[in-house]
Amino acid sequence: MRIGIDIDNVIFNTAETVLDVHYEDTGERLHLSDITDYNMTQFVSKKYRYKFHELFSDSRVVERLKPIENCVETINNVFGKQRYDILFVTASPIYIQPNGRKKLQELFDFDISRRIVVTKNKSVVDIDILIDDCPNYISDHVLNRNDPAILFKYPWNQKPFIGETLGLSYRTDNWKDIDKLIFIMANFHNKNRGENQCS
Ligand SMILES: [Mg+2]
């Protein structure tokens, strides 16, 4: 069984870091709680919007990224020991560039170099469970693949979304919960496919 894990705001605290650097550059203080839609740029003052997206690949942001609590332990201890296959599925090309890839590799015990997929069409990637903070990616995965997904909770994904209607997606903001959810989903997945748990 293969698990697809988004990187920004699921493994790293990207939005928080981007907002910190934006504040340093402009004096405009935005908090995570202000970002109530996935498109962050609309919450930035018009005069700063045109180059706000550049912050996501800014070297200062990449350097300062911190892993979300319990993420590293969960992935290393539970997933990394070959219990499940893992792909890091991101829309951000920064993680296949040297500084981004190094930043990600530093977290994990296993070699990540062949495990990073950069795409804006995540539902075509052959993964059974997707963990993401973007409702559209979760919807695409659930609706196109009929497989389960975990939405990492943030102010920008609080509203109900179309993929939720199938009952295959779950919301949490805690990696310890994700560990348990994966176990439950994996058993359901394997039962449906007649596989054993470790396949
Ligand atoms: Mg993300």
Q: How far apart are CA 125 and CA 104, in angstroms?
A: 20
**Structural domain contains residue 198:** no
pTM confidence score: 0.93
Q: Are residues 7 and 32 in the same domain?
A: no
**Structural domain contains residue 116:** yes
Q: How far apart are CA 42 and CA 173, in angstroms?
A: 24
- For ligand 1, the distance from its centroid to the CA atom of residue 62, given in whole angstroms, is 14
- For ligand 1, the distance from its centroid to the CA atom of residue 57, given in whole angstroms, is 14
Q: Are residues 8 and 19 in the same domain?
A: no
**Structural domain contains residue 48:** yes
Tokens for 163? 């993929």
- For ligand 1, the distance from its centroid to the CA atom of residue 140, given in whole angstroms, is 14
Per-residue confidence (pLDDT) for residue 82, from 0 to 100: 61
- For ligand 1, the distance from its centroid to the CA atom of residue 194, given in whole angstroms, is 32
Q: Are residues 73 and 85 in the same domain?
A: yes
**Structural domain contains residue 199:** no
Q: Are residues 138 and 182 in the same domain?
A: yes
Q: Are residues 131 and 80 in the same domain?
A: yes
Q: Residues 149, 131: contact at Cβ < 8 Å?
A: yes
Can you give the chain as a three-state secondary structure string?
Answer: CEEEECCECCCECHHHHHHHHHHHHHCCCCCHHHCCCCCHHHHCCHHHHCCHHHHHHCHHHHHHCCECCCHHHHHHHHHCCCCCEEEEEECCHHHHCHHHHHHHHCCCCCCCCCCEEECCCHHHCCCCEEEECCHHHHHHHHHHHCCCEEEECCHHHCCCCHHHHHCCEEEECCHHHHHHHHHHHHHHHHHHHCCCCCC
**Structural domain contains residue 46:** yes
Q: Are residues 106 and 185 in the same domain?
A: yes
Which domain does 101 fall in, by range?
Answer: 2-12+67-193
Here the CATH number for the domain that contains residue 78 is: 3.40.50.1000
Q: Are residues 58 and 75 in the same domain?
A: no
Q: Are residues 22 and 98 in the same domain?
A: no
pLDDT (tens, 9 = 90+) of the chain, 199 residues, equals 899 999 999 999 999 999 999 999 999 999 999 999 999 999 999 999 999 999 999 999 999 999 999 999 999 877 766 678 999 999 999 999 999 999 999 999 889 989 999 999 999 999 999 999 999 999 999 999 999 999 999 999 999 988 888 888 999 999 999 988 888 888 776 666 655 444 4
Q: Are residues 140 and 106 in the same domain?
A: yes
Q: At 195, give phi and psi (nearest 5°).
A: -105, 165
**Structural domain contains residue 30:** yes
Q: How far apart are CA 126 and CA 137, in angstroms?
A: 14
